Chain A
Amino acid sequence: MTSEARFENRRIAERAALWLLTVQSEQLSVSQRAEFIDWLRESPLHIAEMLRVCRLQRDLANFKGWDQIAPMDGGPASALIEFFESRSVAAAVRPPGHRVRNMMLLAASVAALCVLAILVLARFDQIVLSTQLGERREMTLVDGSVVDLAPNSEVVVRYRARERLIALNHGEALFHVARNPNRPFIVQAALTSVRAVGTVFNVGRDVHGVSITVVEGRVSVSQRSASNAADAPAESCATALCLGADEQVSISPAGRATAVRKVRSDAEIGWATGRLAFENETVAEIARRFNLYNRTQIQVLDADLAARRISGIFQASDPESFVAFVQAVAGAQVAQRDSEHIALGSPAQSSSGDTAH
């Protein structure tokens, strides 16, 4: 833990303790209640800290050893020594006859060391997964989570003991998150963080920003400001957004989020099953998406046609079906064609007799 992080933890812990004491000892005014609820809604860390401090208070109330606590005149130095001694040799302050328990303690600490070793190893676990044009990869990660990587995409997987971090460098990916109570799953794309516990969601990143679609479960989306981009995401999610199933949000490179949209998520993530679904999308954009998946590249020559909006579901590996669709619906003509290239033009531009259905 860095010293700043430790300081921050301590600050939150103190704040939580103050709130607990305040809530217990006095009637809160309206403004205090507002402040309290806003503080709670600022970060899951604040809530965790509230729960921890409640637990601590409960433990203190059940604690039976007050008579063994040195009274006020007992110097802090002796207390410190006792602290270290009792940590290292638990037997010192224990009455005899507890040998079995001491053995168990020992066993527990040996087990803890082993876990520690594994966690240290896990820290260096960093995997880069990427795809080329026309390539789609599905990978199962060590925890059982599955990443579907769209063409021309790259993610970096960094698993830590307490969190699973994925950076989406570019492109699009669908995450099936294996539920793990101990390690939240966090996808970072540009300055946006998507945090989940166990769910299915899709994150896309391109020049227009970041788009998040939830298929199943819930995620929280937060945004770091560019100035403190190095902060840990959870620490700085002052403006977290909650996204449920079939909901989608887009965030501009400047960090502005659109309103949450209801979408048909199965269509949105159709790419992962080899389907591409478009709703009111421009022909240019659809062609671009097809081009990601196929060696055969579609070129839209006519500006009007490129701007034309259509809807439909296509097989990603079958650009011909899209070409046929545009021909039928928009009256486009194939201006040029060879084995790796289809150029679409308006009817006026077309050379006739070249259309293959």
Chain B
Amino acid sequence: MATEGSPPSKLGDLFRDWRQPLRRFLARRRAGCVADIDDIAQEVFLRLLRYDRSELIDFPQAYLFKIASNVTAEWAMRSSRRLPHHSEWLTELVDALSPEAELEREMLDQQLRCAVSTLPARAREILRLHFAEGLPHEDIARTLGVTRKIVKRDIARAYASLRISLDRNPFEVTQREGGAKPP
């Protein structure tokens, strides 16, 4: 990502707690890296299972992001040591202003613009009010004359649509096709 500045505080403090590796990792979205999330998630999953449930319940989100941060950091270290070709995402991020990063940034903007445009009108407006004008959910609800619950639901649905259309790289359709095969 071209700018590594902290996101607006209105989004909550979640991101600020993340350590660099996870933030950087998530900043990547080139096709080749998309699948890495599954791998990180697999490891986070295994570690979460090792924890005592009663311990996790105190701060589920903190544990989730802490573990994810750790896994990502270890991953980056390991891959730079053992598999030099897999460490490219890390080194590229250090050089965040490389032409390639800029290109990627631009492609993402382009994709986002397209994806957001396909959302239902109200969802689009809610996202715009939230991210461009910084309105909290309550104010958006008041502006549009709907309940807070609808705002939240619309955002959640919009996130799901956006995330699916953004992460759908050209291969994914083919790859998953045989997913539900008989054993």
Contacts and interface: CB of A to CB of B under 8 A. Distances in A.
Q: Is the interface of A mostly helix, strand, loop or mixed?
A: helix
Given A1-B172, A76-B120, A51 B37 contact: yes
Contacts of A44: 38, 41-42, 44-45
B145 interface: no
B77 interface: no
Contact of B160 (A10, A25, A30, A62): A10
Contact of B174 (A48, A76, A161, A232): A161
Contacts of A306: none
Interface stretch (A52-60, A281-289, A344-352): A52-60
Nearest to A181: B39
A104 interface: yes
A112 B117 contact: no
B14 A33 contact: no
Interface of B is mostly: helix
A73 interface: yes
A69 B31 contact: no
Q: What range describes how many residues of A lie at the interface?
A: 35 or more
B6 to A, nearest CB: 10
Contacts of B14: 20, 23-24, 54
Interface in A43-80: 43-45, 47-76, 79-80
Interface of B: 1, 3, 7-8, 11-12, 14-15, 23, 26-27, 29, 31, 35-46, 48-50, 53, 56-61, 63-64, 68, 75, 79, 82-83, 86, 103, 106-110, 112-118, 120-122, 124-125, 127-128, 131-132, 137, 152-153, 155-157, 159-164, 166-167, 169-183
Interface of A: 1-2, 4-5, 9-10, 13-14, 16-18, 20-25, 28, 30, 33-34, 36-38, 40-41, 43-45, 47-76, 79-80, 82-83, 86-87, 90, 93, 101, 104-105, 109, 112-113, 115-116, 119-120, 123, 158, 160-162, 167, 179, 181-184, 188, 191, 195, 197, 218, 220, 229-232, 235, 240-242
